[in-house]
Amino acid sequence: MEQQIIDLLMGFVQGYPAAASVFMVLGIMRAIFKPACALFEAYISATPSKADDEKYAAFKSGKIYFVLDYLFSIKIPK
């Protein structure tokens, strides 16, 4: 069973190298962005200043955050 899955994945990578590269980049970026965003959000909520909380809330309602979340699924469940 394990060898069949490996053969299937290798066939996909050999047949569609561009698509495999896109999926690999998306996976790597998700592995980087998700913990980084969790740490950043924890840092912002730990600071006594509320101005940075407001700036972060404004950023989360913007288009850049929407694109990052759509591509890399950076939302952290509470």
Name the DSSP class of 48.
Answer: S
Contact 76, 41 (CB under 8 A): yes
1 burial via Cβ count (<10 Å: 0-12, 13-18, 19+): exposed
> Does any domain span residue 15?
yes
Domain that holds residue 23: 2-72
> Does any domain span residue 78?
no
> Does any domain span residue 47?
yes
pLDDT tens per residue across span 5-42: 999 989 988 999 999 999 899 889 888 988 888 898 89
Within 13 Å, how many C-alpha atoms sit on residue 46's CB side?
6
- Count the domains in the chain: 1
pTM: 0.65
Contact 34, 73 (CB under 8 A): yes
